[in-house]
Structure 1
Amino acid sequence: MENKEGNVKFKLFGILRLNYRPSEGEVPVKGSITLTQLLKELADRYPGIQEKLLEDEKLRPGVVLLVNGKNVLHLEELATQIKPGDTVVIFPPGAGG
């Protein structure tokens, strides 16, 4: 299997979009990583973001994470593998209307 280098795109919505700038960007990855690893990378950029999204190492109720448009609750939740070229969209609780 190839160990491709590239970027995973992310986009923040709701209150996260207001509190963290830039609200979208890219994280360089080699091969694939889990969503948990991506959230740790984002926590380095955006202090406090993990606490808004996770509780006891699980997604907080109401948090929605999409990988390429698919809800991770229908995939492998935080163990979902993401790879270069993927896009992760993050909605905190209460985002929407």
Structure 2
Amino acid sequence: MSVLIDQPIWPAHNTLWGHLVSDESLDELHAFAEAAGMPRRGFDRDHYDYPAHKRDELIALGAQPVGVRELVERLQRSGLRVTQKEKRGL
């Protein structure tokens, strides 16, 4: 399993948010998120957003902590990264 988790550094809705990705497949990512009780609405094309209070639980379930740069690099190498341009449909 290669589910990666970065630090929650993005402020919104009175908390900090981080990203959860897979560098293997979106199926792996969705299965992990479902097992962790994360709602599908937290999925944003190539990652799940997670609130800071879930970090320790997600790591205990097997998510590998990495820095933001490593998370993005591994997601890009996997071919699963969706660029901002692709998100806007350009």
TM-score normalised by the chain length of structure 1:
0.27
Q: Which has the higher contact order (CA 8 A, sep 6+)?
A: 1
Q: By percentage of residues, which structure has more helix? A: 2
Q: By percentage of residues, which structure has more strand? A: 1
